[in-house]
Amino acid sequence: MKKVVRWTLLLYAVYALFFAFYLFSWADVSIPSEYKGTSADPAMFLTKRELLLSEQFSQIKNFLFFLSIPYEWVIYLLVLVFGLSAKFQQWAEQTTKWRFVQTSIYLFCLSLLATVLTFPLSYAGYYFSKAYHISTQTFSSWMRDEIIDFWVNYAIMIVIVYVLYTLMRKYEKRWWVYAWLLSIPFTIFLTFIQPIVIDPLYNDFYPLKNKQLEDKILELAKEANIPANHVFEVDMSEKTNALNAYVTGIGGNSRIVLWDTTLQQLGEDEILFIMAHEMAHYVMKHIYWGVGGYIVLTLIGLYITNHWMKRIIARWGDWLHIRKLNEMSSLPLFLLLISLLSFAVSPAMNAASRYEEHAADRYAIELTENKEAAVSTFQELTRSSLSQVHPPYLVKLFRYSHPTILERIIFLERYE
């Protein structure tokens, strides 16, 4: 056990040092010489102070991201090695004979421990966002969102884990197939209820107040053959200075949403370009493709997880304190493997998302025919979020679900 702990912490330290040197020293984020002096060069639309702050904030933000993912793996592994997972299961079984309540007790212990241990990194993310004036949220408001996050995730996980381990006990060999089949309607249901049940827990949504602008947006929607009656705005200025707009939900629950910061900081033509971009996701059915891709990956992930869990438990079950796959104490191992697989597949998922976002940019410029507004939109997005125009390769690979600002502006400048 001491060897496992020692090697785990050593590998994590080496990993952290690598990304510290990579992000703060080695990575070249300078603009290629052929693009210097163009509208894609941040020196042309950011002040020297903004340039410095964007580099500093991006480095810190990216470093925290790369620290947080394997940090979760370390937590799950140590929870197993120190026998905490088995202890949580024992407490739950001693408290009640009802499996659903046992699941609730076990999951609360595990979730609370993970939340406490990851809190320093979460707080660091909030602290630096506040320090660089990206976040405008008070600490109490931020903590409120964190608490809501905990209980929403806890409620969803109780259902998932209870069903998952019931299937494991009943169908030892094929549990993963039945789990995948049940995940399909569950995924669609969550996607459907998110805009009307989950999102309003965090922010206030209401129809766009500027009716003149709404009429112009709805006119764009009419040109795109989108049956839209309302555009929603959400009160985000109490939490952030960043800009955003998005499409969420499916079917009749689909919503096009604008942050109020976007309305406050961008001009009308720029807002129309953003709306055209979001309409493209609806027209091209990107939400449906995303749900479909997630369902396929879930099948593959559950199959691999089942195979790996059986092999790991057979070989190292004793020092992980796991006797059987269908025992609740194996949950940290399940979460560890799912997280590893998700991280491994994220470059491919991000590449697919960047393709969709590029297609949406093309659609938006064809619909609005306003190149200047499109370029200035991306320049303002860079300024408001202090993001890098040309991020390091590994950051783009693992973090960027959108093309880089450099790629987006160069595409617009070359577009005819």
**What is the average pLDDT score of the chain?**
91
How many CA atoms are closer than 13 Å to the CA of 390, on its beta-carbon side? Answer: 15
d(CA 280, CA 274) in angstroms, rounded, equals: 10
Average pLDDT over residues 292-309: 95
**pLDDT, tens only, 181-240:** 999 998 888 877 777 777 787 888 888 888 888 888 888 877 777 766 778 888 888 889
- Write down the H helix ranges in 232-330: 260-265, 268-283, 286-320
Question: Are residues 117 and 123 in contact, defined by beta-carbon separation less than 8 angstroms?
Answer: no
253, 150, 135, 144: which is closest to 195 by C-alpha? 253
Q: Does the pLDDT at position 265 exceed 80?
A: yes
Question: How many beta carbons lie within 10 A of that of residue 219, not counting itself?
Answer: 11
384, 383, 409, 374: which is closest to 270 by C-alpha? 374
Q: Which amino acid is at 320?
A: L
How confident is the model at residue 125, as a pLDDT? Answer: 96
pLDDT-derived band at 329 (thresholds 50, 70, 90) equals very high
Average pLDDT over residues 22-38: 93
Q: Is 146 annotated as a binding residue?
A: no
74, 87, 159: which is closest to 336 by C-alpha? 74
**Structure tokens belonging to residue 36:** 């210097």
Query: Which residues make Cβ contacts (< 8 Å) with residue 163, sequence separation at least 6?
Result: 179, 182
Give 257 or 87, the one with higher predicted confidence. 87
Q: Does the pLDDT at position 106 exceed 90?
A: yes
Give 254 or 312, the one with higher predicted confidence. 312
pLDDT-derived band at 77 (thresholds 50, 70, 90) equals very high
Q: Does the pLDDT at position 255 exceed 80?
A: no
Q: Where are the domains of the chain?
A: 2-202+286-414
Average pLDDT over residues 254-261: 81
**pLDDT, tens only, 372-387:** 999 999 999 999 999 9
Share of the chain above pLDDT 90, in %: 73
Question: Are residues 386 and 58 in contact, defined by beta-carbon separation less than 8 angstroms?
Answer: yes
d(CA 212, CA 243) in angstroms, rounded, equals: 21
How confident is the model at residue 224, as a pLDDT? Answer: 73
**Structure tokens belonging to residue 46:** 């950011």
d(CA 121, CA 123) in angstroms, rounded, equals: 5
Q: Is this model's pTM higher than 0.85 or not?
A: yes
Element (H or E) spanning 207, and its range? Answer: strand 205-207
Provide long-range contacts, Cβ within 8 A and 24+ apart, for 260-269: 260/233, 260/234, 260/235, 260/236, 261/236, 261/237, 261/384, 263/210, 263/213, 263/233, 264/237, 265/380, 265/384, 266/377, 266/380, 267/373, 267/376, 268/213, 268/216, 269/368, 269/370, 269/372, 269/373
Q: Is 390 annotated as a binding residue?
A: no
Q: Does the pLDDT at position 244 exceed 90?
A: no
Looking at the annotation, which residues are catalytic?
Answer: 278, 361
Q: Is 133 annotated as a binding residue?
A: no
Sheet of strand 205-207, all strands in order from the earlier edge strand to the far edge: 205-207, 232-234, 255-259, 245-248
Average pLDDT over residues 118-122: 96
pLDDT-derived band at 254 (thresholds 50, 70, 90) equals low
Average pLDDT over residues 123-150: 95
List the beta bridge partners of residue 255: 248
